[in-house]
C-alpha cells in the first residue's frame, strides 16, 4: 500500500472527545489529514456550523464502513456495538484509532491480530490516561528495556475522592458528591469506585509495556467504598496516605501478577503527593530502573490530542508491511498480594478483643508489627488498627473471615496493603 498524500478520517461518535478531535482536524493544523465523515445517532441534533460543508454527516454506520475513509476513529465507547463496528472497519480495509479502554481491554488482542492479518493498524494511545502518552513511551521510548512492573493511579475519580478525604476529612459520600458536581464522577460511578475502569487500563498497559496480555476479567479488584476518614488519620500516623493503585508485574518465575486495590502509600512518595484527578504511572525496567509519567488522565482536549497523534502515527506507518504473527496467547494471572498490611477493626469494645484477633493471626502464621488506637472514639464504635508484617492477602482474608464471626464487630474489618 503506497503512502497516501493525505489521509481521510471518519469519526464514529461526536460527543465531547469527538467534537474536540473534529476541531483539531478542522483547524488547519494537520493539513495532511482530512475529516470526511461524522457518524452519530440523532445526527441532525449534533450538526455544528464550524465543520466544513464537505464533511458528510450520517447516522448510518454502514455509510462509514463503505466510505473512502482510510482511518476510522471510534469514540462511541462501550463494548457493543463498538467491537462489531471496529472489526467491520478492519475487514473493510480501514485502520482504526480508538479511545475505548473497555474495548481494548476485552478485545484488544483479537483486534490487533486481525489488524495485522489485514495489513492495517489499530492505535489506542487515548484509551489509557488520555493526556499522558504513556503507551507510546512504553512502545518506543522504553523499547530497549525489559519492563517487569507497572504501578499506577489510573482513575481520576478515585484519586479525587481519596484526596478530598485526606485533605479535609470529608466522608466518602460527600467526596463522591463533590466529584460528581465537579464532573469528575459519572452519575453511576460503579466502574470507577470498584476498580473496573483502572483494571481495563491496567490490562492494556500490561499487554503493551510488560508484553503480557491478560484477560481483564482475571484482574482482581477491590473497591474504595469502605474507606473512611479515620483510615487517613491512622495512615498519617504511619507516614502514609491512601490511593487506588493498579499494579502489574512479571515475577522471576514468569508468573504475571495484576490487581487494583486501595492501598497505603508513603506521603512522601510520588503516589502520596499525587492529588486531585491527576494520573500517575510508574514503570520499572531491568536495565533502566523506574520511569514515571503524570498528567491529566481524561478530558476532551487532552484525549483528542492523543487521538489525533494516533491518526498521524497510522498515516506515517502506511505502506509498512505488518509482520506475520500467530494469535497472541493470554497469560494466567495471580492477584494475591504479598505485602505488609493495614487492618482496621470497628468494634463494640470489651475485654479480650485484641487477644481474639492476635490468636486468629497466629493460627494463620501472620505476624503483627504494631497496634494503633486513637483515644477520641466512643467505646461502642471504636476503630483500632493492626499493622502486619508481609503476608499473603488470601491468607489474611481467611484469618479475617474467622475473626468476623465474633460478636464484637460493628462493621466488617478493612484490610489494605502497604506499599513502600
Catalytic residue among 201, 350, 376, 379: 201
Strands (E), 209-285: 220-221, 240-250, 256-266, 278-285
Q: What percentage of the chain has pLDDT greater than the value 70?
A: 96
* Residue 300: per-residue pLDDT: 76
Coil, helix or strand at residue 362: helix
Q: Is the pLDDT of residue 325 over 90?
A: no
* Residue 291: per-residue pLDDT: 96
End-to-end CA distance of the chain: 51
Q: How confident is the model at residue 302 (pLDDT cuts 50, 70, 90)?
A: confident
CA 112 from centroid of its chain's CA atoms: 20
Q: Is the pLDDT of residue 34 over 80?
A: yes
Span 2-9, average pLDDT: 67
| In a domain? residue 333 | no
Domain shared by 163 and 191, yes or no? yes
Q: What percentage of the chain has pLDDT greater than the value 90?
A: 85
CB atoms within 10 A of CB 150: 24
46 in catalytic set: no
* Residue 331: per-residue pLDDT: 87
| In a domain? residue 202 | yes
User: CATH no. for residue 360?
Assistant: 3.30.70.260
Give the DSSP letter of residue 2: P
What are 221-266's pLDDT values in tens digits?
999 999 999 999 999 999 999 999 999 999 888 889 999 999 999 9
Domain boundary among 240, 267, 296: 296
Q: Is the pLDDT of residue 124 over 80?
A: yes
All three cell numbers of 388, joined, read 502486619
Domain shared by 102 and 178, yes or no? no
118, 93 contact by CB (below 8 A): yes
* Residue 327: per-residue pLDDT: 66
Beta strands 333-334; 256-266: pairing state = parallel
Span 338-351, average pLDDT: 97
What are 36-64's pLDDT values in tens digits?
999 999 999 999 999 999 999 999 999 99
Please give the C-alpha separations between residue 240 and each of 153, 244, 271, 346, in angstroms, as whole numbers. Answer: 16, 13, 10, 20
| In a domain? residue 326 | no
CA-closest candidate to residue 69, choices 317, 311, 304:
311
User: CATH no. for residue 262?
Assistant: 3.30.360.10
Domain shared by 270 and 310, yes or no? no
Domain shared by 273 and 215, yes or no? yes
The total domain count for the chain is 3
Strand partners, 411: 346
| In a domain? residue 356 | yes
| In a domain? residue 142 | no
Domain shared by 284 and 158, yes or no? yes
Domain span at residue 413 reads: 338-417
- The pTM (predicted TM-score) of the whole model is 0.91
10 Å CB burial of residue 147 (0-12, 13-18, 19+) is buried
* Residue 377: per-residue pLDDT: 93
| In a domain? residue 253 | yes
Domain boundary among 296, 326, 352: 296
CA-closest candidate to residue 200, choices 182, 185, 221:
221
Q: Is the pLDDT of residue 323 over 80?
A: no
User: CATH no. for residue 69?
Assistant: 3.40.50.720
Domain shared by 200 and 157, yes or no? yes
Amino acid at each position: 500500500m503506497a503512502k497516501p498524500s493525505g489521509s481521510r478520517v471518519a469519526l464514529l461518535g461526536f460527543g465531547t472527545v469527538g467534537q474536540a478531535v473534529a476541531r483539531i482536524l478542522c483547524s488547519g493544523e494537520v493539513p495532511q489529514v482530512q475529516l470526511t465523515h461524522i457518524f452519530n445517532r440523532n445526527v441532525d441534533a449534533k450538526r455544528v456550523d464550524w465543520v466544513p460543508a464537505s464533511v458528510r454527516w450520517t447516522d448510518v454506520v454502514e455509510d462509514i464502513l463503505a466510505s473512502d475513509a482510510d482511518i476510522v476513529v471510534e469514540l462511541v465507547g462501550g463494548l457493543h456495538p463498538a467491537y462489531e463496528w471496529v472489526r467491520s472497519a478492519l475487514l473493510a480495509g480501514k485502520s482504526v484509532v480508538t479511545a475505548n479502554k473497555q474495548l481494548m481491554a476485552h478485545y484488544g488482542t483479537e483486534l490487533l491480530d486481525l489488524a495485522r492479518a489485514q495489513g492495517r493498524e489499530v492505535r489506542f494511545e487515548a484509551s489509557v490516561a488520555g493526556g499522558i502518552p504513556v503507551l507510546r513511551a512504553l512502545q518506543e521510548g522504553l523499547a530497549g528495556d525489559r519492563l517487569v512492573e507497572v504501578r499506577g493511579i489510573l482513575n481520576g475519580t478515585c484519586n479525587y475522592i481519596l484526596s478530598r478525604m485526606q485533605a479535609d476529612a470529608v466522608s466518602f459520600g460527600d467526596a463522591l458528591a463533590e466529584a460528581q458536581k465537579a464532573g469528575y464522577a459519572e452519575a453511576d460511578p460503579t466502574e470507577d469506585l470498584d476498580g473496573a475502569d483502572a483494571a481495563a487500563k491496567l490490562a492494556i498497559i500490561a499487554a503493551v509495556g510488560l508484553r503480557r496480555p491478560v484477560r481483564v476479567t482475571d484482574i482482581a479488584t477491590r473497591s474504595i467504598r469502605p474507606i473512611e476518614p479515620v483510615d487517613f488519620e491512622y495512615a498519617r500516623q504511619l507516614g502514609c496516605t491512601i490511593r487506588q493503585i493498579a499494579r502489574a508485574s512479571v515475577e522471576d518465575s514468569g508468573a504475571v501478577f495484576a490487581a487494583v486495590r486501595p492501598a497505603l502509600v508513603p506521603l512522601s512518595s510520588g503516589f502520596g503527593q499525587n492529588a486531585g484527578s491527576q494520573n500517575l504511572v510508574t514503570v520499572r525496567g531491568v536495565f533502566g530502573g523506574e520511569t514515571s509519567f503524570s498528567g491529566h488522565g481524561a478530558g476532551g482536549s487532552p484525549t483528542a490530542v492523543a487521538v489525533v497523534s494516533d491518526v498521524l502515527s497510522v498515516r506515517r506507518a502506511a505502506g509498512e508491511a505488518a509482520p506475520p504473527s500467530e494469535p497472541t496467547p493470554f497469560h494466567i494471572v495471580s492477584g494475591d498480594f504479598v505485602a505488609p498490611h493495614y487492618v482496621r477493626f470497628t468494634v463494640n469494645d470489651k475485654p479480650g478483643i485484641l487477644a481474639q484477633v492476635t490468636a486468629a493471626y497466629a493460627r494463620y502464621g501472620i505476624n503483627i508489627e504494631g497496634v494503633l488506637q486513637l483515644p477520641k472514639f466512643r467505646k461502642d464504635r471504636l476503630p483500632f488498627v493492626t499493622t502486619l508484617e508481609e503476608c499473603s492477602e488470601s491468607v489474611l482474608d481467611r484469618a479475617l473471615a474467622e475473626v468476623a464471626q465474633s460478636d464484637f464487630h460493628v462493621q466488617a474489618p478493612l484490610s489494605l496493603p502497604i506499599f513502600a
